[in-house]
Structure 1
Amino acid sequence: MERLTSFGNDPSDRPPCQGCSSYLVEPYIRCAECGPPDFLLCLQCFTRGYEYKKHQSDHKYEIMTSDFPILEAGWTAQEEMALLEAVMDCGFGNWQDVAYQMRSRTKEECEGHYMKNFINNPLFSSTLLSPRHTEDARVADTAIPFKPTDDPPRPSFDSQLSRDMAGYMPARADFMEEFDNYAEWDLKDIDFVDDDSDILHALKSAVVDIYHSRLKERQRRKKIIRDHGLINLRRFQVLERRYPKEVQDLYDIMRRFARVVGPLEHDKFIESHALEFELRKEIRRLQEFRREGVQLFCGVRVYERVRRVREEERRKRTALCEALQYVHDARSCQQWLNKQAAIDAGITPVVNTITTSGRRSAPPLNLTGLPGTEKLNEREKELCQVVRLVPGAYLEYKQALLSECRRQGGLRLAQARSLIKIDVNKTRKIYDFLIKEGYVNKA
């Protein structure tokens, strides 16, 4: 009778022969009548008819060997065990070292056999383990908040996407801070001793039960994130943009119910509402056709074309009314009407410059007697007069921009506008002046 052994390649892991005390090498003999413990003999002691205590040479026996195929013809059980042990020692994917440790197979043979029989073998998912048990084992105690088929994003630290991902670390498949991150603090000093009173023991047990419930809530939230694919925020937003604005608003409102239904049921719910929105839109369109007297679908194209022309004419009249509100003299109004008439006739209009009374520019600011004027040079005084900025405020703005430039090694206009909360045109003039005078340099 042939049996599969479970001894490794190390001789010290093998049992000794009961006759000569040497480590057993396959094949060897096991007595079928003696034991437990098993009475094992090497082939040399068995051929000599070795007997010891109750063991007799005429007892029934079994030949212990692993020289037979299990999963694939040409691969013995001993080679299967050696392959598993080599993968465990060298790591999955390091097929060169795995083949070197086995010595009897090449790198390609080891990789192909392992992937075929231990990774892609449907036997383990259909016969040995039920699909329900496999799914439970996959999601029971895992911290991976995304589906195994997804490629999780790997943003740089302190980026906007990293902040949106709430501290998710793809390398560890976990979050930097867990939900209820300090749940362990409540029981870190609890110690069950024999001399505890019944009330104290019950209190400690209640604290542990509360901690277990908090762990379940943490795991439940991770499961929601993983099942609904919420960790990949960018892809999630792209999927939302497929829907019209009304359905997107509904999506935002109904997102809170994702925790009580599965991802497939939630998507079906949203898709059904999107379909309802499209049906209602089509019903309103058909009702409009009926109100306008369109009875056949062949007349829809004519109605749509006439409606577009009518809306275009209405838009022109509306634009004329809006333009006439801002035209106050007869000459400008006549020029505008002539221009529109030329456009309608397909003639390129002659553009005449309409002289209007422009807004007068403000006079320069008088700096006489203002505090801080003596600290300015002539060019800075001229800038403050043109920009109409008091010297004290200019000096504060200048100091803030110089400090930011030294800290960043350069300064951009956008940074200057974020530091100085005044009119953007004044900020631009101050920034250009400091660049021209050499006080700051561009980033």
Structure 2
Amino acid sequence: FIKMILYVSSDDPFDKPPCRGCSSYLVEPYIKCAECGPSPFLLCLQCFTRGYEYKKHQSDHKYEIMTSDFPVLEPGWTAQEEMALLEAVMDCGFGNWSDVAYQMRTKTKEECEGHYMKNFINNPLFSSTLLNLRQMEDHLSRTADTAIPFKPTDDPPRPSFDSQVSRDMAGYMPARADFMEEFDNYAEWDLKDIDFVDDDSDILHALKVAVVDIYHSRLKERQRRKKIIRDHGLINLRKFQILERRYPKEVQDLYDAMRRFARVVGPIEHDKFIESHTLEFELRREIRRLQEYRREGIQSFCGAKVYERVKRMREDERRKRNMLCDILQYIHDSRACQQWLHKQAAILFVQSYAPPLNLTGLPGTEKLNEREKELCQVVRLVPGAYLEYKQALLNECRRQGGLRLAQARSLIKIDVNKTRKIYDFLIKEGYINKA
């Protein structure tokens, strides 16, 4: 009656249902009944050893041991640590091994780097490029099932009236699910004076019917445009732009050029079209990279790694030489040197002694408290933009349970120093917490 199977599961007990016996949070390893269902019947080891029974569950049922404490790719690395390593690299960035090791806490910096390079970079089955291509293929296969990234039931943002976000949304009113001004907003004016009477001539009656038919066609066009906006998720412009930024530059240009054709096909077909071109660009880039390696006589991934490092060093040296040539022309010309020094001094003076921003009359100022007003004045940020950035950071912090400075900088595309000041201010005031 015993069936023992090892499963990979999350190490966070708050991600699992509580024990059915004592209602405590489950900690690996724990027991899952293999016969009770469809909802999982989970027990901690203490309740399992006591032979806990409840309704249909009996102590002699088959069971499964839920744990992730077993090696997957090599001894010394459990499945739980493999998942933690991938999540840490995704959060901290490739190459930032000190922060990766700090986030894992069970491995050193050298162990994290060596294991990742051996099993996910230099291993052809898990190379970064192939992994990216596999993720793209998975996304294409999921697109057929999940349809579009936006659904009609998504709650769009509710900006204040006459704000920049409201203008970007073309006056959309979320409470009414309608626009303040419709497409072809004065189409009804052509009907306001039409009245069908019995003594109309046949020609006049036909003209009036033709005007009504034209009005119906204009209404159909209005509804067609609304359907395109709803299906493709064009209401939330900022969210739509964030999704666009995940593509490389050449795919973004293609996205802008092909947006006008989104009305011809549905959202699924349009997303498939863009994703297929993304895959094509990735393949072309990989082919060019491999061709470059072949021209240079490189035959292994280790050799390619050395070549890339030497190539970066060579480009840095070339950049330094070009910079030195630019400086030498100022040194030989005393007048040009003086002008350049005055220009640099003026730039430093403006950066160091920029006066505080005057918030009088700016929209959104009334929504700020005194400390927020002081921040906007010092950082020289208009209140409307600050409120948008604050809401974006709050939503991301609420979604992930914490927020790091690197994540804040990826969300807010402004000067990094301003982003740090906003992030530190929100941390200090208790609006968000660090991850």
Q: Could you tell me the TM-score, scaled by structure 2's length?
A: 0.42
If you compute each CA radius of gyration, which structure gives the higher value, 1 or 2?
Answer: 1
Larger RCO, structure (CA 8 Å, separation 6 or more): 2
